[in-house]
Chains A and B, each alone.
Chain A
Amino acid sequence: MKKKFLMFLAAATLLTMASCKKDEESTPDAEDIAIPSGQFKLELEHQYADLPLALNNTYFTNQGEELQFQNFKYYLTNVKLIKADGSVWSHPESYFLIDLGNPSSLLPSITGIPEGDYTSIQFMIGVDSTRNVSGAQTGALAVSNNMFWTWSTGYIMAKFEGTSPQAPGSTFSYHVGGFQGVLASQQVLNFAFAPEVLMIRKSTNPLLKMSIDAQRIFNNDQGINIHDNPTVHQPGMMAKRVIQNFVSGIEFEHIHN
């Protein structure tokens, strides 16, 4: 046993030394072979019906309720690109916290993509159930981003908060969560680009533009009346309605290759 163990260690050490050497010799070209260098940027244009969406601006629902957003955040995760032949490229560690109050978050950069022509995109609004049950995370998923429920573990998939004179306490607060079974609120969305194509090339950085219409949170088929529903803070039917309404307002616009 001891002998085997020592041999294992020796082998491991050799391996390690070999890998050290490789690292030292590695050139940009060698790295390119290892990790695909294609990339694109997802441009997220937020609107409220025909108006640009901005925090603290006044908007009206189609039921005549007035509102101002003070917080407008959601998770965009698990980005996948699909080719015409159906083959799928999955972006590893694909977690973005989109925050209207943080302009740099509105242009997520997707990197490490193999060259090719892609015909559709898939992503999730919310966080997959796996990361909801996998303990302490980092980056966009760190608990200190305050997009996490502490009393009943799980990510807040989307957080829309603000003021409205029609709300009983003059404020509304929608924290959408729930990731399991019937309470699952995360939404997987697919958008085909046809007739456009996302051309991923080593030397380019295309822009894929999506539009998000925040009015749909309140105005979709199953409208939400702020006066009657000023607070949604737990998984369930209302949380799902908020996020389903929200994602119904997400549309593919166009691609600048």
Chain B
Amino acid sequence: MRASIAITLIVVLFSRCGKEEESVLAVPTEQAFGFNQPEHFPPPHYTFTNNPLTKQGFELGRKLFFDPILSLDNSLSCGTCHSQVHAFADHGTAFSLGVNGAVGTRNSPAISNMAWYPAFMWDGGINHIEIMPVAPITSPIEMKETMTNVVVKLLSDPVYPGLFNAAFGSSEVTDQKILFALAQYMGNLVSSDSKYDRYILGKESYTAQETEGLNLFRTHCESCHNEPLTSDFSYRNNGLAGGYETDFGRYLITQEESDKGKFKVPSLRNVALTYPYMHDGRLFTLTAVIDHYSENLVTVGNTDPSLTPMNFTSSQKEALDAFLQTLTDYTYISNPLYAE
């Protein structure tokens, strides 16, 4: 932390040597802004190396995230389909609506702990957090805008050039700066204060039922949803009926036959808030999800070999449900730092 302050100061000092007097005046006094590394998490994948995290950059990213200016007709923001009260998933809808009412094809995923993700989207097609927002901004069934036009709109806005100046030292708006700012916001969205986290850190205890659920989870789910991030970020076919007749999933990225019908193992953090479930939002309740793994698995060619019907008893199902509820992080969904 101190080192980062020192580096920031040095950067500030160096920039004073430059010729751009205006930008020197605009350099804020307090630029360093900490990344919240939970003590029980591994080191993050994204470390802001080329995009130093600052308060101004984070706040610009937050403003952009919630601003419909990023969409073609200024009707939709990132936050429209990624709502904080749902841990940044959509509001209980299987397929989100884009500009002109276009209907999506996969369930809008929850957002948290993205700095730990090696790849993004259900098929893992996007390899970097800085690049990720280009997909929804430019998709014809989502925000349907071009990056060039976003730059034009932000440049002609009365407020944004000043915010870009504060965050990046010049009021020029570029697609790279837009993406850097969004990455600073999204990369700092850390969910690590659920009851589960406090249990792991020895700050809170589980009920007997929650403990039973955790034990069942560790026996039957952990190999894919490994702790503490609750995903191994692999791609698997989880035995959904008719799974890949309409969506080939990972195959669309790799063109490997063996990847047909595979989707990213989602994190289960805040899972009670992120319904409906699966890549196509076909299951609306946690009960239905548990039933799927318990007795509704369909074995097709690429179904993950580690999946066999788990045949939980009804009290085991209740225990698993109770455990999954402990993954809800109320601090995260009410944190004003992340809010619109």
Residues of A within 8 A of B (CB): 1, 5, 8-9, 12-13, 16, 19-20, 23, 132-138, 142-144, 146, 148, 150-153, 183, 234-236
B126's partner among A12, A134, A146, A153 (CB-CB below 8 A) is: A153
User: Could you list 16 further interchain pairs (A-B, Cβ under 8 angstroms) beyond the known A135-B130, A136-B179, A151-B135?
Assistant: A5-B2, A12-B6, A12-B13, A19-B17, A20-B17, A23-B17, A133-B128, A135-B50, A135-B128, A136-B175, A142-B176, A144-B146, A146-B148, A150-B131, A150-B135, A152-B253
Of A20, A146, A151, A235, which is in contact with the most chain B CB atoms at under 10 Å from its CB?
A151
Of the A-B pairs whose beta carbons lie under 8 Å apart in the complex, a sample of 17, sorted by A's number, is: A5-B6, A16-B14, A133-B127, A136-B51, A136-B131, A136-B180, A142-B174, A143-B131, A143-B179, A144-B151, A150-B126, A150-B138, A150-B139, A151-B125, A152-B126, A153-B131, A236-B255
Kindly state whether residue B10 has any CB partner on chain A within 8 Å.
yes
Chain B contacts of A138 at CB under 8 A?
174, 176
Q: Would B10 and A20 count as touching, CB distance under 8 A?
A: no
Chain A contacts of B121 at CB under 8 A?
151
Chain A contacts of B146 at CB under 8 A?
144, 146
Kindly state whether residue B322 has any CB partner on chain A within 8 Å.
no
Within 8 A of A (CB), among B142-164: 146-148, 151
Q: Would A148 and B134 count as touching, CB distance under 8 A?
A: yes
B17's partner among A16, A136, A143, A236 (CB-CB below 8 A) is: A16
B176's partner among A16, A137, A234 (CB-CB below 8 A) is: A137
Distance (Å) between the CB of B7 and the closest chain A CB?
9
Q: Would A134 and B128 count as touching, CB distance under 8 A?
A: yes
A135's partner among B13, B51, B123 (CB-CB below 8 A) is: B51
A19 to B15, CA, bound (A): 11
Kindly state whether residue B129 has any CB partner on chain A within 8 Å.
yes
4 closest A-B pairs by CB: A135-B130, A136-B179, A136-B130, A152-B125
B contacts with A, residue count (CB < 8 A): 36
Distance (Å) between the CB of B260 and the closest chain A CB?
15
Q: Would B127 and A13 count as touching, CB distance under 8 A?
A: no
Chain B contacts of A133 at CB under 8 A?
127-128
Chain B contacts of A150 at CB under 8 A?
126, 131, 134-135, 138-139
The verdict on A9 contacting B134 (CB below 8 Å), with A152-B252, A153-B127 known, is no
A87 to B284, CA, bound (A): 64
Within 8 A of A (CB), among B85-136: 121, 123, 125-131, 134-135
B255's partner among A132, A143, A234 (CB-CB below 8 A) is: A234
Chain B contacts of A136 at CB under 8 A?
51, 128, 130-131, 175-176, 179-180, 183
Distance (Å) between the CB of B27 and the closest chain A CB?
14
Kindly state whether residue B16 has any CB partner on chain A within 8 Å.
yes
Chain B contacts of A151 at CB under 8 A?
121, 125-126, 135, 139, 252
Closest residue of A by beta carbon distance from B128: A135
Chain A contacts of B14 at CB under 8 A?
16, 19
Chain A contacts of B123 at CB under 8 A?
152
A134's partner among B6, B10, B17, B50 (CB-CB below 8 A) is: B50
Kindly state whether residue B283 has any CB partner on chain A within 8 Å.
no
Distance (Å) between the CB of B170 and the closest chain A CB?
13
A135 to B17, CA, bound (A): 29
Kindly state whether residue B297 has any CB partner on chain A within 8 Å.
no
A235 to B256, CA, bound (A): 12
Closest residue of B by beta carbon distance from A21: B17
Chain B contacts of A143 at CB under 8 A?
131, 134, 147, 175, 179
Closest residue of B by beta carbon distance from A17: B13
Q: Would B183 and A144 count as touching, CB distance under 8 A?
A: no
Within 8 A of A (CB), among B2-23: 2, 6, 9-10, 13-14, 16-17
Within 8 A of A (CB), among B198-247: none
Chain B contacts of A1 at CB under 8 A?
2
Chain B contacts of A20 at CB under 8 A?
16-17
Chain A contacts of B2 at CB under 8 A?
1, 5
A146 to B146, CA, bound (A): 9
Q: Would B128 and A13 count as touching, CB distance under 8 A?
A: no
Closest residue of B by beta carbon distance from A234: B255
Within 8 A of A (CB), among B25-59: 50-51
A20 to B131, CA, bound (A): 36
